[in-house]
Structure 1
Amino acid sequence: MDFRFGHTSLRVYDLKKSLDFYVGALGMKETRRKDYPGDFCLVFLKDAADTCELELTYNYDPKKPYEIGNGFAHLGFYVKDLKAAHKELKEKGYKVTEFSGLGGNKSSFFFVTDPDGYDIEIIREK
């Protein structure tokens, strides 16, 4: 049996802020939306290469922001121009870390925090 990865889902507190981040800052595109009025709304986004899908789950009238569990690490996105991405996200007011790397490469990735506090790793595409 062959399994194919479907999507990752994140619960979001403010759908507009989340769409501003994932669409406006990371360049994802909304592919479909399933609205269950008064209950919840699912918004599906795809990356520019059409290789991954992210589901934003917005529950209407959340009482408080969600707590991120201690088992969650991060989502990773590839980008060709790491320095330009870092500059752009910082200029848009998002919290970004300094450049980092593994195995002697000191500037192969950085992290940005989305509006709900999820860590997003931005990685230089090889």
Structure 2
Amino acid sequence: MILNGIHHIAIICADYARSKSFYTDVLGLRVIREVYREERDSYKLDLAIGDHYIIELFSFPDPPARVSRPEAQGLRHLAFAVSDIATAVKELTAKGVVTEPIRTDPHTNQRFTFFADPDGLPLELYEAV
């Protein structure tokens, strides 16, 4: 089998309007399509970074919380590549998003930081130069 890349990441949120605003207004992802699935009482929002379809944001009635910290098994975090991490952190801070201090990976010498979406999903900014 040959994998050609990652097609998308699916995220289930607790508050659809709040998460939609976070991913579109705060992070700047572009809406490709939004569908309400009546039979599931669920929204599905397809989001893109640039021209790349990347995230499916779902709402479901009363989804159970998922353990994410401390270091629980499963998907650890979602990382977004940025060209200038200091500028990106300033933009997030101006929008009320709290980030951890910028750190440097000792193996790659690349800078990174973490923050959370409205449901506490760990997100990372990774300076890819």
Provide the TM-score with structure 1 as the length reference.
0.84
* Alignment equivalent of 2:117, drawn from 109, 114, 119: 114
Counterpart residue number, 1:91: 94
Percent same amino acid at aligned positions?
29
- Check the 8 A contact 1:112/1:119 in 2, yes or no: yes
Matches within 5 A, 1:3-18: 3-4=3-4, 5-18=6-19
The two structures, once aligned, show a CA RMSD in angstroms of 2.1
CA contact (8 A) 2:105 2:112 kept: no
2:92 aligned partner, one-letter code: L
1:65–1:98 CA distance, 2 compared to 1 (3 A): farther
Give the SS at the match of 1:23. Answer: helix
More displaced 10-residue stretch of structure 1: 31-40 or 10-19: 31-40
Choose the corresponding residue for 1:43, options 38, 42, 45.
45
| 1:18-56: CA deviation from partner (whole Å, max 9, x where unpaired) | 1221111211101012211262111110112x2341001
CA distance in 2, matches of 1:11, 1:118: 10
- The structure-2 alpha-carbon separation of the partners of 1:86 and 1:54, relative to structure 1 and needing over 3 Å to count, comes to same
Q: Which runs of 5+ in 2 are unaligned?
A: none
Is the CA contact 1:65–1:116 (under 8 Å) kept in the aligned structure 2?
no
Residues 42-98 of structure 1: CA deviation (Å, up to 9, x unaligned): 1110112x23410011014x2x66223522210010112211111111222212100
Identify the residue that residue 68 of structure 1 maps to in structure 2.
67
Alignment gaps of 5+ in structure 1: none
2:23 aligns with: 22
What SS class does the counterpart of residue 68 from structure 1 fall into? Answer: coil
Aligned-pair CA distance for 1:15? 1.3
